[in-house]
Amino acid sequence: MATKDRIAGAALVLFALFVLSESRALPLGTVRQPGPSFVPVLLAALLLAFGALIAAIGGRSERFRSLRWRELPHGIAILGACAFSALALERLGYRITVLIVLFFLIKIVEKKAWLATTLVALALSFGSFYLFYTLLRVPLPLGPWGI
C-alpha cells in the first residue's frame, strides 16, 4: 500500500544512499581526526535509519493519492530561493543574497507586513554575517562591493 509516510521514508533512504555513495570519494577519518566526509556520512546513516523506520511503520498514514497539493507554490518558491542563493552567493555576497532571499520569502511568499519583513531580513542577514564572519571567523563571500 502506497502511503505518504512510506513514500517519504523511501525517498529519505534513497537520498541517504546517494550521499553515502558520493561520500566515498573523500576520506572518512576517525572520531579524533574526522575527515571531510565524516559528518555527511554520520548524518546520512541517521537519515537512512530513520527513513527506513518511517517507511516500515508508515502503513497507517493517508494514501498518497489522497494528498492535496495546496502547498506546491510555497515549495516551488522555496526551491527557487535556494537556487537563487546558490547562484548569487559568490556574485552578490552573503549579506545581500540572504537579505534578498529573506525579503522574498517573508514578504512575497508569506505576505507579511513591510516593517516586519524589513526588520527581520536586515537583522538576520547582517546579524548572521556578524556571528559567522566576525565572531566565529567563518569565511563568507563579501561580493563585489565588499558587503
pTM over 0.85: no
Q: Which residues of 18-28 are buried (b: 16+ CB within 10 A; e: fewer)?
A: ebbeebeeeee
Higher pLDDT among residues 21 and 31, named by residue: 21
Nearest to 29 by CA among 19, 42, 17: 42
70 residue type, one letter: R
Q: CA 95: distance to chain centroid?
A: 18
Q: What is the mean pLDDT of residues 93-111?
A: 96
Neighbours of 100 (CB within 10 A): 17
**Per-residue model confidence (pLDDT) at position 147:** 66
